[in-house]
Amino acid sequence: MSTTPRSARRRFHWRCQAVRPNSTTTATHKSSTSHVMMVVKLVTISCITVLLNASGSVRESIRTVYQRWEQAPNDHNHYLGARLASGSPLGSRSPATSRPFSFTPNVSREERCMSVGIALLVFLACLIMTLVSSEVLVRGLVVLGTKLKLTEGFLGLLTALGADVPEIASAIASLLAGAADLGRGVVLGSNIFNLAILLGLSAVITGQVRMRRQGLMLDGTVALFTLLVVAALLLGLLAPALAMVLLAVLLIPYVVLVGLRPRQVDHLPLPDGLAHLLAVAASQVHEEEQDQQETVGSRFPVLLVPLSLLVIVLASVGLVRAALALAQAWQLSQALVGAVILAGLTSLPNAYAAVHLALRGRGAAVVSATVNSNTINLVVGLALPALVIGRSSAASQVFVELGWLLGMTVIGLLLLLPAKGMTRVGGAGMIVLYLLFVVAQVLWPNI
């Protein structure tokens, strides 16, 4: 039994009642707390990025792995050149000149494990920084679009662009590092992952994902045409400048259409039937993106957009370098690392957003987000770098990745055409197709 006097307990109770905040104070406190936490996250991310880039031991360890693994193929080429210069047949094995060749460098087991461990830590740290910064970037873009009173469809494009920044930054960093196969694999593998997870998994979880036929025809036509143009660019059938002209002819009217409101589309100087059809399609896009328009009272997330972009760029560079080190240490092809590992991990924000929309019954928003995300990846991650940086020679894996992506895109659109949309069975089929792609990449990485 308590020995505290009753009067003292009553006075303590009155003091607690006196300092109890009201709902307005609590809401303000929560808002300020969320802003403070966001600043703490960004500052922490920036500090970690600076430490990773400034750490001499990490850079020296990864550089050692690069140098020693690159020496092995050079030694092998020198050995073959000496055999050819001596005139001895390649099949002969004289004791003086012949020696067994291995692509394993002369690195001790302890040193190799330490280097791989550091590269793995850098990979995980950069991945976390990229995903967190992408979420901050998306929030800032949503607030910016709401402040500017953009249409729901255009705001959806901004959101898709913000969510695609990790894949795009990783692909461009790979191209600049001379790992073109890794960069192409990130973009194409990410698009295949989006079709399987954003559409397929959402259909499996919710039972169906559907979009009205007018909107599906609009988004599907843009997606297919973009994919065909970029495929021709990668295969060397189109010059980068011509490919960008074709993409601009298609995408500029699409962006304008998405940026207009349905009643504005209906009054465009077009034939009545076409104008009405485009207005109906635009109304579906605006309707499905309506939940993006949030009432916001602070511009603070907008101020974090440049910082989050900087963190994503720096973290993507570290992510690609660590991935290349791990690929060489574990003897994995760049196409496998890009198309399966990096593509799946950097697409996790898109997958989470799509499943969240599907659970709320917004199937058309899932379809629109998937199609827009894939289109943005192809244009910004592959077509623009080919125009600015230059186009590299296509490897054999590109044919497999492009063929798989084209096939899954067509199958996904066909499954969405019926009135009931993509059912649970169709979604499971899309996931199975993706798993077969992963198995093919693992078992036959050089096909």
Instruction: Concatenate the DSSP letters of all residues of 307-360 into one string.
Output: HHHHHHHHHHHHHHHHHHHHHHHTT--HHHIIIIIIHHHHTHHHHHHHHHHHHT
Does residue 92 register a pLDDT over 50?
A: no
- Cβ contacts of 122 within 8 Å, gap of 6 or more: 52, 58, 62, 318, 321, 322
397 inside domain = yes
CA distance 111 to 237: 46
Do 432 and 293 sit in the same domain of this protein? Answer: yes
* Mean pLDDT, range 293-297, rounded to an integer: 50
Do 327 and 348 sit in the same domain of this protein? Answer: yes
131 inside domain = yes
* Mean pLDDT, range 309-320, rounded to an integer: 90
Do 175 and 71 sit in the same domain of this protein? Answer: no
User: pLDDT by residue (tens digit) across 66-79?
Assistant: 454 445 444 444 43
Q: What is the mean pLDDT of the chain?
A: 75
DSSP string, 57-80: HHHHHHHHHHHHHHHHHHHHHHHH
Residue range(s) defining the domain that contains residue 84: 60-107
* Mean pLDDT, range 349-370, rounded to an integer: 84
Give the percent of the chain with pLDDT over 70.
65
The number of domains in the chain is 2
Do 101 and 201 sit in the same domain of this protein? Answer: no
Does residue 4 register a pLDDT over 60?
A: no
318 inside domain = yes
Do 67 and 165 sit in the same domain of this protein? Answer: no
Amino acid 250: pLDDT: 93
Do 172 and 102 sit in the same domain of this protein? Answer: no
User: pLDDT by residue (tens digit) across 169-204?
Assistant: 999 998 888 888 889 999 999 999 999 999 999 999
Do 153 and 188 sit in the same domain of this protein? Answer: yes
The CATH number for 148's domain is 1.20.1420.30
CA distance 240 to 284: 33
Confidence of residue 389 (pLDDT cuts 50, 70, 90): confident
Residue 353 CA, distance from chain mean position: 13
Does residue 129 register a pLDDT over 60?
A: yes
**b/e map 401-424, b = 16+ CB within 10 Å:** bbebbeebbeebbebbeeeebbbe
Which pTM value belongs to this model? 0.72
340 inside domain = yes
Amino acid 188: pLDDT: 95
Instruction: Please answer whether residues 16 and 8 qualify as being in contact, where contact means their C-beta atoms are separated by less than 8 angstroms.
Output: no
Do 380 and 423 sit in the same domain of this protein? Answer: yes
Residue 99 vs residue 379, higher pLDDT: 379
112 inside domain = no
User: pLDDT by residue (tens digit) across 394-438?
Assistant: 666 788 999 999 999 999 999 999 988 999 999 999 999 999 999
Do 211 and 87 sit in the same domain of this protein? Answer: no
Amino acid 247: pLDDT: 96
Amino acid 20: pLDDT: 46
Confidence of residue 335 (pLDDT cuts 50, 70, 90): confident
6 inside domain = no
Collapsing DSSP to helix, strand or coil, 432 comes out as helix
Residue 62 vs residue 157, higher pLDDT: 157
User: pLDDT by residue (tens digit) across 143-163?
Assistant: 888 888 777 777 778 888 888
User: pLDDT by residue (tens digit) across 220-276?
Assistant: 999 999 999 999 999 989 999 999 999 999 999 888 888 777 666 666 666 666 666
Do 372 and 435 sit in the same domain of this protein? Answer: yes
22 inside domain = no
Do 252 and 336 sit in the same domain of this protein? Answer: yes
Does residue 120 register a pLDDT over 70?
A: yes
- Cβ contacts of 332 within 8 Å, gap of 6 or more: 326, 445
- Sign of the torsion angle spanned by Cα atoms 156, 158, 162, 167: positive
Amino acid 374: pLDDT: 95
43 inside domain = no
Does residue 212 register a pLDDT over 80?
A: yes
Helices (H) and strands (E) in the chain, counts: 20, 2
Instruction: Please answer whether residues 373 and 351 qualify as being in contact, where contact means their C-beta atoms are separated by less than 8 angstroms.
Output: no
Count of other CB atoms within 10 angstroms of residue 176: 13
Do 226 and 101 sit in the same domain of this protein? Answer: no
User: pLDDT by residue (tens digit) across 10-54?
Assistant: 444 444 444 444 444 444 444 444 554 554 455 445 544 444 444
